[in-house]
Amino acid sequence: MFGMAVNDHWRDGAAGSFLLIGGAEDKDGECFILREFVRLAGGERAGIAVITTATRLPGEVGEVYRRVFLRLGAGEVWPVHLDSREKAGDPHHIAILQRATGVFFTGGDQLRITRILGDTPFERSLKANGSGRLIIGGTSAGAAAMGEIMITGGRGGYPPGRNAVKMAPGLGLLGGVVIDQHFAQRGRIGRLLAAVASHPHVLGIGIDEDTAIAVSPGGRFTVLGSGTVTVVDGRSITRTGAAGSLLGATLHVLAPGYGYDLKARKPRLPEAPRSVSR
């Protein structure tokens, strides 16, 4: 079930473009992260479908994002309230997806996303269109659901004990990774380490609030926003044991401007400003 390594995912060319947020992003000020999503979706030509499946308040949450994206210059925004598997098979909703240049998943409960959308015509259409044409975004639960493995619960803090994390299959739109959100703010390093210790072939990515990763089709991401992104590589783990012991994991903490190559599993330094010839 959890068998695709990061390198296999990018070598197969299955990945598209993503902008995944750790939650609590700015919606009132400069909105740097959401403004970047609109830009990637095409700016004034953007058509954005806001998927509110994760939340119990779809009308309210969908309207918030509709107003924000329009204020930031998007051409059209369509809140899509998929709260049943029947609606996820409605041709009207599939048609919206096929018109969209960006698809944005709101926060809430990531299990609702996979339970309602998993293996439906909507999910299959999203995967078919997401390998190049779309920019796929998500915040909080909407980011967590993108990975191959999805963290659904567990205690924060450290060390990563045996019962530190609960997991389930994610949508797998971004294969070979497990994503945790609200990362530093809720002390979730222990549960991300526990997730990677259980599945060393996947990369663990912990995203702080008001922070995002912008992932290119080639498998490189750049950190945006006000916090940091933590990457845990479990390939080098030599031993796990009782009382939360974990030896050999590789950990990177990436500030805004830094990046990471998912295929090579290497961090990337910020690009130097280009000089202007005179």
Active site residues: 140, 182, 209
What number of CA atoms fall less than 13 Å from residue 94's CA on the CB side? Answer: 15
Helices (H), the chain: 6-11, 32-41, 58-71, 91-99, 110-117, 121-129, 141-144, 189-198
Q: List phi, psi (to 5°) of 82.
A: -100, 95
Q: Residue type for 82, please?
A: L
3-state class (DSSP) for residue 116: helix
3-state class (DSSP) for residue 154: coil
Here the tokens at position 34 are 């959401």
* Residues making up the chain, counted from first to last: 278
